[in-house]
Structure 1
Amino acid sequence: MNIVIIDDTTADIEYCKELLAKNFDNSNILECFADSVAGLEYVNKHKPDLLILDMEMPQLGGLDLIKQLKSARTEIVFYTSHAGFALEAYRNFALGFLLKPINEPEFVGIITKALHRLEQEKKGNLGLDNLKSALQALENKKVPIPTMGCTYFPKVMDIVRLESVDSYAKIHLADGNIHLSSYGIKHFEQSLTPPLFFRVHKSHLVNLKRVEKLFPDGTLVMNNGDHIPVARRRRAELLELF
């Protein structure tokens, strides 16, 4: 966890450093600043995980400073001698608020909370990266479509939608071609899965990247102009995917 401390009182900076070294082995103090203007410039450039910030400083106070922060992911812990600043601190999205003189158990609790939140954010970002990679791999994949005459291999992204016709599947492609497969729609649903494809109706499987709009009556319009009915019980789930 990369940390920056901004406080015009040197003794308070040293005490924060002491508590961090004592209680958090994984903390890395990048810099400490008594000059809030210089501190703001550094934080905007290096975007630390955590900013421990005094509320009352000459030139640029804590509340004014965070209004100029460029890093939305930097967690902020305020501390000050006046409890009256607490509400204002939380209104400005502070993770925590500490009163001077700093109480060690309270300090440890707040920093632990910051660590936990940062870990959750990293997990979320990793999950998003994995999802993007999976989507990219799926988009470049080709899908075999067995028909009565031969087997076609269109790219996944070229498939607009699949339609169930009796025990067969009708595959509509972006170039306007339509193939009738001897396999049913369930066969293709095994490989054409969310978050790229979604079964909006028992008879329709659609490419979500080819969707143009959804009408209140549950009619889905694809980018090739096709109108698809969405089953009532699947509309909420469909909207969540977007």
Structure 2
Amino acid sequence: MIKAIIIDDEQHCIDRILSYCHKYKDSVDIIEVVQTVEGGLESIKNTQIDLLFLDVHIHNQTGFDLLKKIKHINFDIIFTTAYDKYAVQAFKFSAIDYLLKPIDRDDFNQAIEKVIDKSKKEHFDDKVQVLLHNISDGNQQKKISIPTNEGYIFIEVKEIIRCQSDVNYTNIFTKNNQKITVSKTLKTFEKMLEDFNFFRIHNSHLINLSHIKKYTKGKSGYVTMIDNTNLEVSIRRKEKFLEKMI
């Protein structure tokens, strides 16, 4: 049985989570509901839990404030939040689940079933540290959690030179000559990295514009990256690419 706590200051959101959890009453036990950061910290300190439903904004504090006060996180977390571009971006970078308010039943089911199906909670503490690193004000060196067969690799976004599509997989190439294969599409990384000076120059190639060595003209042209890889720029993306480079 998964023991869970809800920390949220909106009763209607609490009621919705409780209602959705009824379907999983044989797998998930909501042992406490708390409406403040302080109360949440006390509950976590005194109870061994497996799952935390954590609101991002709790009165005049945040769920991130709570996490910063916990030395070791050995439980899963599902965040609940009204839409916040930067918070959502941080969740995606750290590979931590989140639910947008008002919480959709199908989204809830997907998140809770992922927790139920887990055989072990690998690297969750590290993922939270990546989240807190990325959410910090003024922090420009964003980190990303990359899932692999062995677990997760945590790297700074600026270390990524390029991403290359391989059907439903993506190969990520870094400055220290790593090649990381991920079972996610290139479009996933395009959406995640588009605000960080990355541009998709071709159906198969997403590049970090900061790591271009040169551009060679031609019908479509090609770029040479700092790892000396030559990559074609597709004709239909050429104009937008050149606009980015000016």
TM-score, normalising length from structure 1?
Answer: 0.46
Larger radius of gyration: 1
More strand by share: 2
Looking at both structures, which has the greater relative contact order when contacts are Cα pairs under 8 Å and sequence separation is at least 6? 2
